[in-house]
Structure 1
């Protein structure tokens, strides 16, 4: 188990689905305190993982809660039909987590750096969010069937000099939302998940944790209101690519008998000049961000404004 803990520490993933696979691969057994449910849809599959106790939190390296992973390989292509289909699935699961009655204020937070494309998913979603909070005061008749929504892209510490969590706390104190939806770019362990996987979680989020730049947590414990996190992997640690390559090689030529600890030592030696922090993103990242951002924005809009006809929402977004 010690060998796994070391490996898990160096080869981090933001996805609960991948964390589960890493633990299974290292221990060879199911994880106590973790449940799993599978669903299949026309353009995507869904895995719902629930981390239910303290032991499961430690083993998985993630806080207790529900993690819904939508895998949609076709999302990498600019297909309106695929995006709408995935957005419908996202909206349904988001509705179940939000449990809105129609009287709440929703604060949407776009985490990340709008100046760095792989980290610009959150700001991209906020830029296209349907904002209504101000209209309830100035044009209440126009938003009769809508939910009160406000949004913010607070930037990153290196640009603002202020911790993101501090900015959000200040806004929460003033606006007093009933729930926060935080969107952020994630780090994955598998290259094929970049831009094609969406994770929804109800336990909050720690910005930058996937790229070794961990910032203050944004959660119910720190904000005082529920925080739903939505993320899409946009980067992979280069060490994970090397690990996958070596494991594939050994599996093919040595029947997989090489111990993972030796693989990790080799990877550490190779990436020593980068202190283990070399991050890789695909060259088509602009398109991936645009496709995923549009899908998430559509899903969030449908989940929040449930009383508004879909045709009307489509015209607005």
Structure 2
């Protein structure tokens, strides 16, 4: 599958790793201005894509910055020990993206629609994050050492609130004056194999809904006035991509050459405006597991002074 097909179907790639794979598959060489680092753990691999200049930004379709991708197929398995390792890997990678004194405020924003399971990752993460900003003001005696002032919110989506999400977040930022935003959102993947097995961290902020064609105002340093870190997990993939992959695999199996099936796929998807996304039937469990991992990683990174056994005391 090439970039021409993706463009013809109006599909943008949320994962920087997938954007790089598509472009490298077409050119056969590394993209100028893009640097890649890799790390391997027992249950996860980490690939960091550095987009270093404007030319690379144009080619990749991603802002200049750092994109850390944690690939961990074990997330789909019922393996709590492995999930704890992935949580620790996430915490360590997250800490690489910020360096703030412990007394500064951090705002966690869970983007998405809590009424639609594939889009409910952000709100589910917020439910499990340790919020402590109020304790600094009203109950400092409850705090242990090594805890930051953290606040959290799930602002909902435009269709529910009638307000652009970025406007809500910006209003909270103006009132509470955090030094950093961590935004969590559901993503769309080019490969179905990456659904609920891949976590992307980026220091470039986020555009809510961009992966499924909903163009919303960005939540980034330019719009918020402070640094924004984004954490995303693919929870859907495009039906057009699944259809094209199936056609390519079939033609290859019979010795044929894959052709451009975009017109036929558009015709099939016409009742949905050409924009149909697909999610696994077990998405409820996958969202629950990934939300727990992401919230755990954020808690570890934000509050190094307390352990997982102490989280329940502070969760309300």
Shorter chain as normaliser: what TM range?
A: over 0.9
Moved more, 305-314 or 278-287: 305-314
- Contact preservation (8 Å) 1:77, 1:291: no
Unpaired segments ≥5 residues, structure 2: none
Moved more, 137-146 or 125-134: 137-146
- Contact preservation (8 Å) 1:8, 1:22: no
1:134-164 per-residue CA deviation (whole Å, 9 max, x = no partner) reads: 0001111222421000000000000000000
Distance in 2, matches of 1:135 and 1:315, equals 13
**Alpha-carbon shift at residue 297 of structure 1 (Å):** 0.4
**Alpha-carbon shift at residue 272 of structure 1 (Å):** 2.6
SS in 2 for 1:99: coil
The answer to whether 1:120 aligns with 2:120 is yes
TM-score (norm 2): 0.94
Provide closer, same or farther for how the CA distance between residues 197 and 225 of structure 1 changes in structure 2, counting only shifts above 3 A: same
**Structure 1 equivalent of residue 12 of structure 2:** 12
1:159-209 per-residue CA deviation (whole Å, 9 max, x = no partner) reads: 000000000000000000010000000000111111111110000000000
- Contact preservation (8 Å) 2:11, 2:212: no
Provide closer, same or farther for how the CA distance between residues 316 and 40 of structure 1 changes in structure 2, counting only shifts above 3 A: farther
**Alpha-carbon shift at residue 267 of structure 1 (Å):** 2.2
**Structure 2 equivalent of residue 108 of structure 1:** 108
SS in 1 for 2:231: strand
The answer to whether 1:129 aligns with 2:129 is yes
1:28-43 to structure 2, matched below 5 A, reads 28-43=28-43
- Contact preservation (8 Å) 2:105, 2:178: yes
1:58-101 per-residue CA deviation (whole Å, 9 max, x = no partner) reads: 11111111111111111012322121100000000101112132
**Alpha-carbon shift at residue 128 of structure 1 (Å):** 1.4
**Structure 2 equivalent of residue 268 of structure 1:** 266
SS in 2 for 1:134: helix
The answer to whether 1:312 aligns with 2:310 is yes
Distance in 2, matches of 1:279 and 1:258, equals 23
Distance in 2, matches of 1:48 and 1:90, equals 13
- Contact preservation (8 Å) 1:100, 1:304: no
1:231-257 per-residue CA deviation (whole Å, 9 max, x = no partner) reads: 1100001001011112222333336x4
**Alpha-carbon shift at residue 26 of structure 1 (Å):** 2.7
**Alpha-carbon shift at residue 131 of structure 1 (Å):** 0.9
Provide closer, same or farther for how the CA distance between residues 278 and 101 of structure 1 changes in structure 2, counting only shifts above 3 A: same
1:160-171 to structure 2, matched below 5 A, reads 160-171=161-172
Distance in 1, matches of 2:177 and 2:74, equals 38
- Contact preservation (8 Å) 1:195, 1:232: yes
Distance in 1, matches of 2:273 and 2:247, equals 20
Distance in 2, matches of 1:147 and 1:57, equals 34
**Structure 2 equivalent of residue 177 of structure 1:** 178
- Contact preservation (8 Å) 1:185, 1:232: yes
**Alpha-carbon shift at residue 102 of structure 1 (Å):** 0.7
**Structure 2 equivalent of residue 213 of structure 1:** 214
TM-score (norm 1): 0.94
Provide closer, same or farther for how the CA distance between residues 253 and 11 of structure 1 changes in structure 2, counting only shifts above 3 A: farther
Unpaired segments ≥5 residues, structure 1: none
1:303 to 292, 301, 314: 301
SS in 2 for 1:294: helix
Distance in 1, matches of 2:3 and 2:127, equals 41
- Contact preservation (8 Å) 1:108, 1:150: yes
Provide closer, same or farther for how the CA distance between residues 99 and 139 of structure 1 changes in structure 2, counting only shifts above 3 A: same
**Structure 2 equivalent of residue 204 of structure 1:** 205
